[in-house]
Structure formats: C-alpha cells, structure tokens
Amino acid sequence: MSNAGGMSTVTRYTDMLAGNTVYPGDNSYESIATATGTGSSGVMTFSSIPATYTHLQIRGFTKSTSSGSNWKVQFNGDTGSNYANHYLESNGSTVSAGAELTQTGMNFYAATATSTAASVYAAMVMDILDYTSSNKNKTVRTLSGVDTNGGGNNDFNSGLWYATPAAITSITITLNSGSFDTNSKIALYGIKG
C-alpha cells in the first residue's frame, strides 16, 4: 500500500456501524450467517440468532426478480402491526421524509427492481442495537441506496419494533414484490460489547 504523501503510522479503528459508534477490542465483529437468493423466494430468514453479542449488523446486496424495491423486516416471527419506521430519502433532485406507523414490519428501500440496469444491486447496512435486551423495545437504523447512472435513491431510516421488549432471536426479511435473485446476498454479523 502507498500514498502520494508517504505512509507513516498505523491506526486501528474498530468502528463498523453505519453510524459512528466505536466498539473497542479485537475479534469483536463476527460473521454469523449469510443468506443467498434462490430466484424463487422473496423471503430470507435468520433464525436461532445467538445471544452472545451486543449489537447486530445486516449487510445486504439485493435485487428483485420483479418490481420489488423494499424489504419488510420482522423480528421473532411477529406479523402483527407492531412496527414503525421513519425515512429520509433522496432521488438526485428532491428530498422527502415521512413515517410509516402501525406496520406489520419495518419497510426499508433496499433492493433493485428488475426494470433497472441488469447488473446493478442495491446496498443496505442495518444496525440493530441492543438486540438481546429484555427491557427495551428494539430500534434499528439503516443506510441504503442504489445508483443506476441517472436514477436511484439514497435512504436513511430508523425502525422500531414495539410489540415486546423480548430479545431478538430471529429476523425475517421479505421483498415487497418478487424474489431475491441468485446474486442477492444478505449477511448477518454480531458485534460484541
């Protein structure tokens, strides 16, 4: 590695969240599982999530086989109207903000529809904070988007699951339309405190 100004000291950062919180210590970020699209299902589920971490991070790179562009995220199989989310979104010219309350899942812009450029995939980084707590509702933050060379969106979201303060043991991600194509991947990571 080199740079035009020369290399001097080496600095170790342990920041991995989409925001800016720093978590100290080595081996504090671990890969738990990865789901890959099949081309025939719009659902990916992470189950039996170990309770040995402080936070979770989901990193997605997904495309729908049809017009789907949103993930619906649910915890512990709860399909009730126990979720809410807020969004701040841009499309290259305008900015919009809004809220979706009393939802059956948290809705995040996180996939590319088939109608967009064939090889372009949306990206998502989602942080699920303090997921093992049994006395706090669960808050999520996301950074996501896709640029299609003249189109696309850039999103910044928060989400809430308020049905129960129970620890999260499973996460279900469902496309709002179509299936995850075979190059789609969603990876789950654990961050130790």
Q: Is 193 in the site for another protein (CB under 8 A)?
A: no
Q: What's the alpha-carbon Rg for the chain, to the nearest Å? A: 17
Rounded Cα distance between 48 and 75, Å, is 12
Using CB under 8 A as the binding rule, whether residue 50 contacts another protein is answered as yes
The yes or no reply on residue 45 touching another protein (CB under 8 A) is: no
Site for another protein contains 114 (CB under 8 A): no
* Contact region with another protein (CB under 8 A), list: 68-76, 118-126, 130-138, 167-175: 118-126
Question: Looking at beta carbons only, is 86 or 137 nearer to another protein?
Answer: 86
Residue that has been written with the tokens 């279900």 in this structure? 172
Answer yes or no whether residue 166 interacts with another protein by CB under 8 A.
no
Is residue 84 a contact residue for another protein (CB under 8 A)?
Answer: no
**What is the rounded distance in angstroms from the CA atom of residue 157 to the CA atom of residue 141?**
6
Among 84, 120, 160, 167, binds another protein (CB under 8 A): 120
Cβ-contact 46, 32 below 8 angstroms: yes
Q: Does 152 bind another protein (CB under 8 A)?
A: yes
Among 10, 24, 98, 135, binds another protein (CB under 8 A): 10
- Please, which residue, 69 or 82, has the CB nearer to another protein? 69
Tell me which DSSP letter residue 64 carries.
Answer: B
Separation in Å, CA 91 to CA 146, 154, 155, 185: 10, 6, 9, 24
- Residues contacting residue 60 through CB under 8 Å, at least 6 positions apart: 71, 110, 111, 122, 123, 124, 125, 126, 144, 173, 184, 185, 186, 187
Evaluate whether 93 touches 14 at the Cβ level (below 8 Å).
Answer: no
Is 48 in a helix, a strand, or coil?
A: coil
Query: Which span (72-80, 130-138, 159-167, 183-191) binds another protein, by CB under 8 A?
Result: 183-191
* Binding-site ranges for another protein (CB under 8 A): 1-16, 18-20, 27-34, 50, 59, 61, 88-95, 117, 119-125, 143-150, 152-154, 156, 183, 185, 187, 189-190
